[in-house]
Structure 1
Amino acid sequence: MPGTMNAVVMHAPGGPEVLKLETRPIPQPDTTEVLIKVHAFGLNRSELFTRQGHSPGVRLPRILGIEAVGTVAESPGGQLEPGQVVATVMGGMGRSFDGSYAEYAVVPAAQIRILRTNLPWSTLGALPEMLQTAWGALFRSLRLAPGQMLLIRGGTTSVGLAAIAIASAHGAVVGATSRSAEAESVVKAAGATHFFLDDGAIAEKVRGVWNGGADKVLELVGTTTLADSLQATKEPGIVCMAGMVGHQWSLPQFAPMDVIPTGVSLTTYSGGVADFMAMPLQELVDQVEAGVLPIRLGPVFQLDQISSAHAVMEQTSARGKIVVLT
């Protein structure tokens, strides 16, 4: 498919203004790849970190974007049919090769899921990475079981709200945190039964409410609250760090014997292609479409508004997944 497309290209790290809308040739797939006509993509904090210069392995110029939904434009190897609705995430998208901030993207066929859905692109675009992170963290890393007490630290993030809905439907007792008191109604609408106003030190409160602490903790704020989340967990609980809204990559002077309670496990979830291909994505999309899995959407932008979209993501004011339509 010769021709040109609109694409957002990053030539140097910096603020939202470094994301430049340019005209680029439409990329050509080989027989192991598929050309996707991108209809929508969700924004992710890893893209924010890359834009800020915190991904030294990413060579510039680069088209960012670690997820996309759209339709198959070309599949030279015959793995997919033109016109099929598809979703893809990770696998080097927007990092080792050009990603989804464009009208077309070339992606390995092995990391594409076919979807059957009538959801609008603005909703579907919010789902792939958000659902795969929530699902994978809950069931692969935390091994969540019905009846367990689950604390979601960072409950109003897009992944946090999805995790609340998925975990409560699974039969867990869910508590969620936010630094804003107004967020209580938001997390409870998603399925949480407990709300903890987060001042950075809520471990004692959680232990008091839940008879010694949470069974499982999904840490989405990151290293800034991780030590407190560990103290909020009772043996033999698990804390999974899967997000970094707190703008801090590492723990300064990390002393494991001081920070990790006896018998409590600390793990992470980063979610690669294998996790995405194995998760029940169609089932979750069906639940969203049926209205039984409530997903909170943030603002929707057009491709030429990408700088504004990044500015909103950086302010952490969206209260839902930000989606960009192409």
Structure 2
Amino acid sequence: MTATMRAVVVDGPGAPDVLRVRRVPIAEPAAGEVLIRVRAFGLNRSELHFRRGVAYSGSFPRIPGIEAVGVVEAAPGGEFRAGTQAATMMGGMGRTFDGGYAEFVTVPAAQVIPFRSDLPWEVIGAVPEMLQTAAGSLRVGVGAHRGDSLLIRGGTSSVGLALAVLAKLQGMTVFATSRRPQARTLLEAVGVDHVLVDDGSIAAQVRAIAPAGVDGAVELVGVDALRDTLRAVRRGGTVCFTGMLSDEWTIPEFYPMDWLPNGVRLTAYAGEADDLATADLQEFLDAVADGSAKVPLGRVYRMTDIVQAHRDMEAGTAGGKAVVVP
């Protein structure tokens, strides 16, 4: 008899209520694959885009979810021992093959990242994709250095909060935006030095504090905010385009001489599992355990709450990284 599990299945694109919890067969791992018992999975806006049917890749029906953490159940190729704590993400998860919104997930061994931690699973579940995106945006996208100043456009998003945590660990001066004045407490709790209320034009607010502009910025709102963000950065500084909270992805008429201030660089960052090294994940989890870093964990849900979880993600009311514990 085929073993089954509970999973969230999407038969076709639509509103949050297209997410249905069902019993489905557990995919048997082949050589080169790893079966992971999922203990927690984070929610990401790319899953919202997939559920709506506007993602650039993927097919239905599908178990969504681009990340998960848990314990290795089986690895026929011998890459990992049963019982190993592991994270997995990206690489087609939840798009071209079934993803992490389930009690078990089968993934290629190359996208499994082992770790050891006694932190609660809901805390660990918030980390992998958020850490990979934030760390990559800082290191690869912005090319940030210790002591730099950094603007985070979209600071109350999960990646924005993680960026603030990582930047403060590097002694950086952090500016972060939110459209909601009441978000000040949340942003200051993760170390933000200058909270800016985003009225659509924040470059002048930044330069009132740092007249020459900040050293770097990470754009998490979208291209509708990007032009203004570029004008908040000093000559020789860099803006990394990482997120699209506004769902504005493309610039219809891009005239570089008009868009780009003199000497300001524009880059982008979109990482994969191999962009998060085992040592980096372990170091961050250890830092959380000893109190020197903080995970911006938002609401925690059960699998049966998945529809409400997506509604909260759409509304931006999760208060940090939303996590599901199946």
TM-score (norm 1): 0.97
Distance between the aligned counterparts of 1:120 and 1:273, measured in 2? 22
Equivalents in 2 of 1:130, 1:58: separation in Å? 21
CA offset digits 1:166-195 (Å, max 9, x no partner): 101101111111111111222122111111
Q: In structure 2, what is the equivalent of residue 275 of structure 1? A: 275
After superposition, what is the alpha-carbon deviation per residue over 1:62-83, rounded to whole angstroms, capped at 9, x for unaligned? 1100000000011100100111
Q: Cα deviations across residues 95-147 of structure 1 (Å, max 9, x unaligned)?
A: 11110011111011111111110011111111100111111101111111122
Helix, strand or coil for the counterpart of 1:188? helix
The 2-side partners of 1:224 and 1:290 are apart by: 39
| Contact persistence 1:132–1:279 (CA under 8 A) | no
* Aligned position for 1:162: 162
| Alpha-carbon distance in 1 for matches of 2:171, 2:188 | 15
Q: Superposed, which structure 2 residues align to 1:105-144 within 5 Å?
A: 105-144=105-144
**Residues 287-322 of structure 1 deviation map (CA, whole Å, 9 limit, x = unaligned):** 112221122211111111111110100001112000
Matches within 5 A, 1:1-326: 2-277=2-277, 280-326=280-326
CA contact (8 A) 2:176 2:196 kept: yes
User: Is the Cα contact below 8 Å between 2:113 and 2:278 reproduced in 1?
Assistant: no
Q: Secondary structure at the match of 1:234?
A: strand
Q: TM-score, normalised by structure 2?
A: 0.97
Distance 1:315 1:238, change over 3 A: same
Q: Matches of 2:55 and 2:295 in 1, distance apart?
A: 29
Q: For 1:274 and 1:35, how far apart are their aligned partners in 2?
A: 18
Task: Report the aligned-residue RMSD.
Answer: 1.3
Letter in 2 for 1:247: D
Contact 1:152 1:217 in 2 (8 A): yes
Q: State the 4+ residue runs in structure 1 displaced beyond 4 angstroms.
A: none
Partners of 1:278 and 1:258 in 2: how far apart? 42
Q: Give structure 1 stretches of 5+ with no counterpart.
A: none
Distance, in Å, in 2 between the alignment partners of 1:92 and 1:180 is: 34
